[in-house]
Amino acid sequence: MNLFSIFFKAALSDNIVFLSFLALCPFIGMSTDEDKSVGMGLAVTFVTVLATCVTWPIYRFILEPLGLKFLQTLAFILVIASLVQLVEFYLKKSAPALYNSMGIYLALITTNCAILYVTLNNISREFDFIEAVVYAVGVALGFLLALLLLAGIRRRIKTSPIPAFMKGTPVLFVCAALLSMAFMGFSGLVK
């Protein structure tokens, strides 16, 4: 599998939000406007790529040779939680406005199942290090794309006549379902 097809599949045809239905809490919560979406998407991208760069060697050079493969989930969760804390400290110092706007969603990156999914998928698909990083970048940018698409839709929804029983989260999930069906169209483009 070449790197382009790995990236394309990760970002579009196997989109983490629309086709695997992971990371829905930050997807709904942080897509209120484009700025928050970009901030969250970039934070998730950074943590996902960094987590991949750290967990892949831990698995290949420590857990696998020592016969401790069963500890991969625990080790990966600890690594991800530590990395999120580092990102949180960095954002608090360098971008306080973004840090304040993210609020609880920054802490949710720690429990973002998409990041753990990526690290575990890299192992189960037996990617080498470069393929794993490309896959992580693809998944994270696919998540950012999903956030931006929903943020754009939310901006249009604000001025649209929507029945009262559909306002808020229900209409967002209907929109997400329609986007999911649209993304299924990418599935046949790359094998």
Which residues of the chain fall below pLDDT 50?
none
Q: What's the burial of 124, exposed, middle or buried (CB within 10 Å: 0-12/13-18/19+)? A: exposed
Q: Determine the 3-state secondary structure of 48 from DSSP.
A: helix
pLDDT at 63: 95
Is this structure's pTM higher than 0.85? yes
- List of E strands, 12-169: none
Q: What is the pLDDT of residue 96?
A: 82
